[in-house]
Amino acid sequence: MPSTLRDPTTGLERLALARLPTPLDEAPRLARALGIARLAIKREDMAGYALGGNKLRQLDFILAEALAAGADILITTAGSQSNFCRSLAGAAAKLGLGCHLHLRAAMGTEMVGNLLLDNLFGATVTFTAVTDPWDTAVADEMTAIAAGYAAQGRKPFIVQLTGVSAAVGVCGWMSGAAELMKDFEARGAVPDVMVAVCGSGLSLAGLALGFKHLGCRTRLLGISAQQPAPRLKAWISSTAGEASTLLDISTRLTEDDFDIIDSEIAPGYGKPSPASVAAVRLAGRTEGLVLDPVYTGKGMAGIVTALRTGVLQPHHSVVFLHSGGTPGLFTHADAFAGETFTGEAAA
């Protein structure tokens, strides 16, 4: 069993599967093209194993708990092209644990992108008939799957970022906030705004709670890829509250502590937009930086929108969280076909 270490920010036990610290790279050509004073990219896509991404920090904490509980098989649910499921399957392979993914088929059952990687990492995949990501019926199905393994003498452990694992997941990104503050110190400048694209909002909850608790003045701006802003804001502050309770700290995140814009969701969660495709092309052309059109491309498109609406100002120094999601570029290659984009940068 791999040894755990104590995380100094949260005091929790963690694994060290992710390769940290991830780089913070200056992106001067992209900054100029976007029309902002300074831009750096936090390269969570380089977090080490299984093509990286923002779930690896959370897994270092969640899987320390799983190992402490004696788990030998990890079970979770999400969409069939979930970056989280692929990350969990990769971690399970590294730890020599079983992994059962119970997936919603809305993004297809074709063996491409993350689903191909799940298969390569040796995960068992089943599909649920539940289609609504917020339907709790799927939690009952996972409980039944876990009971089946337990009946065979296995030790199943259910991981669910928007459920049982949420508070610990927030702690993973609180620890990431401490790492970023060291990055800022080394860089000699604290950015005005940090931009992250949000699904559940778990990563942003951890970053915002961490910055508040540790006294960093950088303001978080979340670009929603999934949920309307009011629902996302409420979920972030209540889930950050669960983490405060878990850690027994008096710092509480309120809805005034961070900003959310939800202008980039269309045409829907997991679907590319013309603006996200243009943003992927812009990042590629200016920095050789690989984004995807359903998460980080929407985040970058959100920066363009925020500059237009005044939420971001040209004099701002910005850090963008590259949260991973690289397989999504290849699953959505058709969104880039048939046009030669010569688009000029946003003014």
Which residues of this protein are in contact with ligand PLP, per CB under 6 A? 53-54, 83-84, 197-204, 295-296, 323-325
Task: Give the nearest distance from C-beta 288 to ligand PLP in angstroms.
Answer: 18
Catalytic residue, from 80, 82, 203, 237: name it. 82
Q: Which amino acid is at 117?
A: L
Is 82 considered catalytic here?
Answer: yes
Task: Give the nearest distance from C-beta 155 to ligand PLP in angstroms.
Answer: 27
Task: Give the nearest distance from C-beta 8 to ligand PLP in angstroms.
Answer: 22
Beta-strand ranges (E) seen in the chain are: 5-6, 13-14, 24-26, 38-43, 73-79, 98-104, 124-128, 156-158, 193-198, 219-224, 258-261, 317-322
Task: Give the nearest distance from C-beta 195 to ligand PLP in angstroms.
Answer: 11
Host H or E run for residue 91 = helix 83-95
Tokens coding 221: 């701006």
Confirm if 73 and 95 have CB atoms less than 8 A apart. Answer: no
Beta bridge mates, 261? 223
CA dist., res. 163 & res. 75, Å (int): 13
Place of tokens 């298969």: 119
CA dist., res. 212 & res. 240, Å (int): 11
Active site residues: 82
